[in-house]
Amino acid sequence: MTKEKKPKNPVETRVPQSEPEAKYSCNELIGAAVSFGVKPEVMTGALRLAGKDEMTKKEAQAAIKKFLERKV
């Protein structure tokens, strides 16, 4: 019988959990419209079109894109 040796300090193989994205209120997003490269009026329209009270940065960017590409 051969015994397998186990290392005394096994390396943990944890997968780092990603933190959930922060959600921002409509007022915060409108105030930060310039950081998205749009005017506050565009951000307001995008948020109204999306119909949400809170959004992540990715959701806000998608809402802006959808708003700017809509047919009028």
Model pLDDT for residues 29-60, shown as the tens digit of each residue: 999 999 999 999 999 999 999 998 899 999 99
| pTM, to two decimals | 0.70
Tokens of 58: 């990715």
Amino acid 32 reads A
Structure confidence at residue 20 (pLDDT): 85
In this prediction, residue 5 has a pLDDT band, given cuts at 50, 70 and 90, of low
Helices (H) and strands (E) in the chain, counts: 3, 2
How far is residue 72's CA from residue 69's CA, in Å, rounded to a whole number?
A: 9
